[in-house]
Amino acid sequence: MKGVLICGGTGSRLKPLTEITNKSLLPVYDRPLIQFPLQTLLAAGIREIAVITGPEHMDQMTNFLGSGSRFGCPFGFRVQEKPEGIAQALGLAEEFVDGDSVCAILGDNVFFDDLSPIIKNFKEGAHVFLKEVSDPERFGVAGIKHTKNRNSEIVTRNSVHVLSLEEKPKHPKSNLAMTGCYLFDARCFEVIRHLKPSHRGELEITDTCRWFLEHDDLSATILVKDWIDAGTFESLFRAAEMVRSQRTAL
Name the residue among 244, 189, 230, 228 with its Cα closest to residue 212: 189
Query: 31-73: per-residue pLDDT in tens?
Result: 999 999 999 999 999 999 999 999 988 999 999 999 899 999 9
CA distance 61 to 55: 10
CB of 5 closer than 8 Å to CB of 46: no
Domains and CATH numbers, the chain: 2-249 (3.90.550.10)
Distances from the Cα of 193 to the Cαs of 81, 126, 201, in angstroms?
A: 17, 17, 15
Q: What is the pTM of this model?
A: 0.91
State residue 200 phi and psi, 5-degree precision: -85, 0
Supply the pLDDT for residue 154: 37
**Contact residues for 139 (Cβ-Cβ < 8 A; gap 6+):** 133, 168, 177, 178, 229
183-192 burial, b for 16+ CB within 10 Å, e for fewer?
A: bbbebbbebb
Supply the pLDDT for residue 144: 82
Q: For residue 233, what pLDDT band results from cuts at 50, 70 and 90? A: very high
How many C-beta neighbours within 10 Å does residue 217 have?
A: 14
Distances from the Cα of 105 to the Cαs of 86, 120, 185, 241, in angstroms?
A: 10, 15, 14, 22
Query: 163-211: per-residue pLDDT in tens?
Result: 999 988 888 888 999 999 999 999 999 999 999 999 888 899 999 999 9
Name the residue among 40, 37, 42, 13 with its Cα closest to residue 25: 37
Q: How many CA atoms lie within 13 A of 208 on its CB side?
A: 29
CB of 120 closer than 8 Å to CB of 153: no
Mean pLDDT, the chain, rounded, equals 90
For β-strands 126-132 and 218-222, DSSP reports them as: parallel
Please tell me whether residue 142 adopts helix, strand or coil conformation: strand
pLDDT cut 70: percent of the chain above it: 94
Residue 115 sits at the vertex; the CA angle it makes with 93 and 235, to the nearest 5 degrees, is 85
